[in-house]
Amino acid sequence: MASIYVLLIRSNTFFSRMIHMATGAEYTHAAISLDSTCSKVYSFSRKYTHIPLPAGFVSESVYRGLMYKCRKAPFALYRAEISEEQHRRLEQRFENMLALGKFHYSLSGPFLCFFGIQRKRSYHYFCSQFVAEVLQELGIISAKKPASLYQPADFTLLSELELCRQGNLGELQSRHNRLSVQL
């Protein structure tokens, strides 16, 4: 068996602070990793560390870029088991999506989600919508709720996901560095 990881964080960006103020949620961003170190996570987010736009499908890491700069940001890492074949297909799918370069961040998505308005546009996602859709396609969570209505905090309530770790990103980064040195 293999695993997929859902990384939830709340960074110190303006957009994250606004979402936190509006929802009061502990986490404002969701991403998927195919390994527990989160050295490579996939999400819909800003493409450049210092500016919010353009945004779209990106490969991020807790060891570089914006996530690295947000060492005090709270995080939670959840895990679900998938087959080796599903893991290989996901990795290929994510790399193909990056190569295509036609996936965009849905600027209206988080606002519509907040008001409970479902909307799906081709090639446009916001972070938690993307994570929910992937989990639904894998059969990890049911499709009772549309992916476009998932907020990052919703993943903390899913019994299908197992909490692995939580704390701040600096702790996650340090833990990985200690493990690397021991190997």
pLDDT bin (cut points 50, 70, 90) of residue 181 is very low
Q: Given 3.30.70.890, 3.20.20.70, 1.10.3720.10, 3.90.1720.10, which CATH number is that of 2-182?
A: 3.90.1720.10
Q: How confident is the model at residue 182 (pLDDT cuts 50, 70, 90)?
A: very low
- Residue-wise pLDDT for 106-125, tens only, equals 999 999 999 999 999 999 99
The three-point CA angle 34-106-80 to 5° equals 25
CA distance 178 to 92: 30
Q: Is 126 helix (H, G, I), strand (E, B) or coil?
A: coil
Report the pLDDT averaged over residues 131-146.
Answer: 93
Contact 86, 102 (CB under 8 A): no
Cβ(155)–Cβ(128) below 8 Å? yes
| Inter-residue contact 170 to 40 (CB < 8 Å) | no
pTM of the model: 0.90
In the chain, % of residues over pLDDT 70: 95
Strands (DSSP E) contained in 65-105 are 74-82, 104-105
Closest-CA residue to 134 (of 122, 153, 124, 147): 147
What does DSSP say about strands 104-105 and 162-168: parallel, antiparallel, or unpaired? unpaired
**Digit-coded pLDDT (tens) for 68-103:** 778 888 999 999 999 999 999 999 999 999 999 999
35-67 residue pLDDT tens:
998 989 999 998 877 777 888 999 998 888 788
51-60 and 41-48 strand pairing: antiparallel
Across the range 31-35, mean pLDDT stands at 96
**In the chain, where the domains are located:** 2-182
Helix, strand, or coil (residue 107): coil
